[in-house]
Structures are given as C-alpha cells and as structure tokens.
Amino acid sequence: MIGRLCVIGVGLIGGSLALALRRAGVVEEVVGAGRDDNHLGTAVALGLIDRFDTNLARAAANADMVVLAVPLGAMYSVCNAIRQDLNPDAVLTDVGSAKQAVVDVVRTTFGKLPACFVPGHPIAGTERSGVEAAFADLYRGRRVILTPQPYTSRMAIRAVKAMWEDAGALVEEMDIGHHDRILAATSHLPHMLAFALVDSLARLDERAEIFRYAAGGFRDFTRIASSDPVMWRDICLANSEAILDMMRRYSYDLDLIADAIAKRDGEQLLRVFKRAKQSRDRLVV
C-alpha cells in the first residue's frame, strides 16, 4: 500500500499509472503536480488524482512514492525543485525513455544518486497525449524495465516493482546501457522513421492526394507520428548516440534495397523481403 503517491506530470503515462493504482486499491492518496492548474484540475475532475499543487516541492514533500512523468528536457528543473524537500524515506522513480540521461540529471541535481532512486521505463503508450488520454489498462500485460544502479536500495526496488505489478505490468531489470541501445532500436528509430516519412510526404506538391488515398498500411505505420513532438525531441537529444547508430544501420540497409531496385535485382529484393517477413512472423507476437 502506498500512502501518498505524488505524480509529477499527469499526462498519458503518469495519469494512467495513477488510475491503475487507484483501481487496484493500493494507494490512499494521489497528489498531482505540474505547472498548469487547469490541466491538473481536469485530472481531479476525471478521477486521476485527489488533489494537486503547482508547487513541486510542496507536492512531493510528504509523499511516500514520487513518480517523475515529465519530458526528459524537464527532468533537471523538476529534480532541482524537489531535491531538498523530498521525504528521506520516500522512493523516487521515473518513466523516462532514455535512462542514462535521467540518471545523470538526478546525480547532478542531488549531488549523488540517492539510494531511494529507481530508474524505470514502462514500455507502453499510445500516439495520444495529455490528461484526457489516460486510461487504467495502459500497463496491463506490458513490460516495465527497471535499471537500478549499484547502490540503489533493494527495498526501493521492491517498492517500485510492486507498484508497477499492481498496475498490471510485467517488471524486468536491465543494465542501463543495454536498455538505451535496445529502446533506440525498438522504439526510438521507428518513431524517427514515422516522423520523417510523414514530414517528407507532407512537403510534396501532391500531398493532398497522397494522404487522401493512403490505405491502412500507411495509417498503421505512421500512427506514432502523432506522438508528442516535445517528448520525442527530448528523447532524441537524450539518447542521441544510440539513436544515431541505429539510424546509420538502417540507412545502410535502405541503400542496399535502393541499389537492388536500381539494378532490377528481383532476387535480392525477394531475399530481403522473405527474411523480413520470417523474422516478423517469428519474433513479434
């Protein structure tokens, strides 16, 4: 049971976590924190949180669990705001998609990594954002990766693991560098491709016809281009090295396909397409 949960950033991710924990009956009070009181007022009206405070330090001061659910670019200012008022017994965790960047920010703002800090990342989301997008089943059956550091308290790890399991998630632990490389391949690169494709086509003279006649495949592939631009800008900057490595690999493979098309090498195209289909059918469920 979490006595008081403080969620800083009550949008799709933070709001859905609050809803799931409230439905599971494992939290006594949820305090929302952020800059926009209208946004937070909506969260109260929708039943995501019990009350809110735009003073982050005051909101986090007496919490038992503090969840940082803000864009990566806002992590520094948020951590700096709460570092002196955090309850010594509180557990601190986050939902950021690039873990090394968050760990670096926490270390810088707090002076060292607090033993109570458990870096975390729920592998869940939709293309929608904001408080109205939150729903309690977002984490049902989805994976959450924790990347604890050498001196992270085992008690804090157990508390964060239990919180996510109560929300319906499957929790795993992973090395922080490995996490950032894996997510660059499975999440960050696909978003870059979707954003780039939509932006490229939208600048063509025939863009109206292109989007009018787009079929299901185009809609499915580009759905994630409707994701929050600020969040994805921050992810690109925070995990730039791993993302650039994956983009270079993809660019090389795309050039091979372009070369096969230019040479009318149907056998090479068929090999690539068959290999891709077999891998997708076997590995993605």
Do 209 and 122 fall within a single domain? no
Chain-centre distance of CA 62, in angstroms?
Answer: 26
pLDDT range class, residue 159, cuts 50, 70, 90: very high
- pLDDT at position 207 is 80
pTM of the model: 0.91
Do 129 and 18 fall within a single domain? yes
Instruction: Please tell me whether residue 6 adopts helix, strand or coil conformation.
Output: strand
Do 168 and 188 fall within a single domain? no
Out of 174, 205, 237, a domain closes at 174
Chain-centre distance of CA 171, in angstroms?
Answer: 15
Do 72 and 110 fall within a single domain? yes
55-79 pLDDT, tens digit per residue, is: 999 999 999 999 999 999 999 999 9
Do 163 and 187 fall within a single domain? no
Instruction: Please tell me whether residue 65 adopts helix, strand or coil conformation.
Output: strand
Q: What torsion, rounded to 10 degrees, do the Cα atoms 244, 249, 255, 261 define?
A: -130
Least confident window among 114-123, 198-207, 208-217, 253-262: 208-217
Report the share of the chain in percent with pLDDT over 90. Answer: 88
- CA gap 134, 277 in Å, rounded: 34
Q: Which residue has the tokens 């090295």?
A: 241
Do 194 and 55 fall within a single domain? no
Do 86 and 10 fall within a single domain? yes
- Nearest Cα residue to 256 out of 275, 228, 279: 275
- pLDDT at position 226 is 92
* pLDDT higher than threshold 80 for residue 216: no
Domain of residue 122: give its range: 2-174
- CA gap 285, 275 in Å, rounded: 17
Mean pLDDT, all residues of the chain: 94
Give the domain CATH number at 191. Answer: 1.10.3660.10
DSSP designation for 47: T
267-276 pLDDT, tens digit per residue, is: 999 999 999 9
Do 153 and 192 fall within a single domain? no
pLDDT range class, residue 143, cuts 50, 70, 90: very high
Do 76 and 14 fall within a single domain? yes
Task: Give the containing element (helix H, strand E) for 30.
Answer: strand 27-33
- CA gap 97, 231 in Å, rounded: 9
Do 95 and 19 fall within a single domain? yes
Give the domain CATH number at 93. Answer: 3.40.50.720
* pLDDT higher than threshold 70 for residue 285: no
Per the structure, how many domains does the chain have?
2
- CA gap 19, 124 in Å, rounded: 15
Contact criterion met (CB below 8 Å) for 89 and 62 = no
Q: Tell me the pairing of strands 65-68 and 51-53.
A: unpaired
- CA gap 76, 246 in Å, rounded: 27
pLDDT range class, residue 21, cuts 50, 70, 90: very high
Do 242 and 116 fall within a single domain? no
DSSP designation for 268: H
Do 82 and 201 fall within a single domain? no
Out of 156, 174, 192, a domain closes at 174
- CA gap 116, 110 in Å, rounded: 12
Out of 142, 174, 206, a domain closes at 174
Q: Which residue has the tokens 């989007």?
A: 211
* pLDDT higher than threshold 80 for residue 215: no
* pLDDT higher than threshold 80 for residue 251: yes
